[in-house]
Amino acid sequence: MMPAISAKTLAIFIVVLIAVAGIAAFVGYQYGLSVGGGAAAKKRYKIGLVLKTLTNPYFIEMQKEFLRLSEKLGFEARVLSTATEQEVEKQVSMVEDLIAWGADAILITPDDSAGIVPAFKACREHGVICIAIDTPVEGDSPDNVVLADFFIGPDFVDAGEKVVDYVAKLLSPDDPSKAEGKIAIFLGVPGAGSTILKLKGIRKGLSKYPGLEVVFNQTGMYERARGASLAEDLLSAHPDVVVIISQNDLMALGALERLKALKRMDIIVTGMDAIPEACMSLLRGELKATINQRGADQVREAIYAAYKLLAGVELDKKWVDLPAELITKENVVMRIEKLKELGMWSS
């Protein structure tokens, strides 16, 4: 005989079923959302997405997945984006606009971890679910998430460390611990959590290889043109540099353009984001490695978390780091298949 179910337990179960109707199976990281067929939620929620930029394919991937989920689950979607990754004041204004629009939940990729705090406070004041994606908000940590209702992003520390480990193997295949050479690091936007955490991972990796020396550590603001300029500055100051570790693909691709012009393609260049152009560069043997930061996966998990929160269900975890996936010439085909699914690949 089955045990009796309390009225409270039954009520919670029914609410969850209603709120997440349209979700057929679960295969993922923390919450495992896999969108299937079926009716949309009984209430048509309004969900907004605020992106750092739509000039970077990494965030375009997020936008595409968000709109795909809107069609599958039936929520009303609105996407807003700043022109560059340095306009956090505009992001705050966009969140205010979404609150006025009547948003039930808002997903944000913060331009700046500290500058975005007013937006999260505004959401809390108005009872709007607010989720941070990619970059955490200042004041939140894995053990203490107080401003965001939920955070999901790549494990940036793991990403930085994996890139350094791979570079060491390229420099000294027989014994990576003996890798030697001068290293340059191209940083993203100062103050952004992604920049800080990626650098932490890079430094963690470098601590294992005493023969690797950082001689150049400058910001390129995650921009392609600045990556090219940094490469030229780097070679003027340190012509014997052997590796450029870039915190995103756009800066790495800009650096490669300048290195080609200067006939210095002997320098190892790595990126992060696994955008389509970076994958093509890997196939050509120019870029040596990148990191798949799973933009689509972040959005899927964030939407599922939002649906649970809107149903009044407490999350098992409020902070999820997705494992970093190193992409090289050897495994880039798998990443390309995913880009094809998203309609982001044309050979």
Model pLDDT for residues 87-125, shown as the tens digit of each residue: 999 999 999 999 999 999 999 999 999 999 999 999 999
pLDDT of 40 higher than 50: no
**Residue 323 in 3-state DSSP?**
coil
Mean predicted lDDT score pLDDT of the chain: 89
- Token representation of residue 44: 């048509």
The mean per-residue pLDDT over the stretch 307-331 comes to 95
What is the pLDDT confidence band of residue 75, given thresholds at 50, 70 and 90?
A: very high
Place of tokens 């480990």: 165
Domain 156-292 class in CATH = alpha beta
* Whole-number Å distance between alpha carbons of 129 and 106: 6
For the stretch 247-283, pLDDT in tens is 999 999 999 999 999 999 999 999 999 999 999 999 9
Kindly report the number of other CB atoms within 10 A of residue 4's CB atom: 7
pLDDT digits (tens, 9 = 90+) for 119-141: 999 999 999 999 999 999 999 99
Residue with tokens 């970093």, as numbered in its chain: 324
Confirm if 101 and 84 have CB atoms less than 8 A apart: no
- What is d(CA 143, CA 275) in angstroms, rounded to the nearest whole number? 31
Q: Provide the residue ranges of all domains of the chain, joining segments of one domain with +.
A: 21-36+43-153+294-322, 156-292
- Identify which has the larger pLDDT, 64 or 31: 64
- Say whether 156-292 and 21-36+43-153+294-322 share the same fold: yes
Angle formed by the axes of helices 276-284 and 249-261, to 10°? 40
Distances (CA, A) of 68 to 76, 133, 149, 279, 343: 11, 17, 23, 23, 11
What is the pTM for the complete model shown? 0.82
Q: Residue 335: CB partners within 8 Å, gap ≥ 6?
A: 274, 279, 292, 327
pLDDT at 310 over 70: yes
- Looking at domain 21-36+43-153+294-322, which CATH architecture does it have? 3-Layer(aba) Sandwich (3.40)
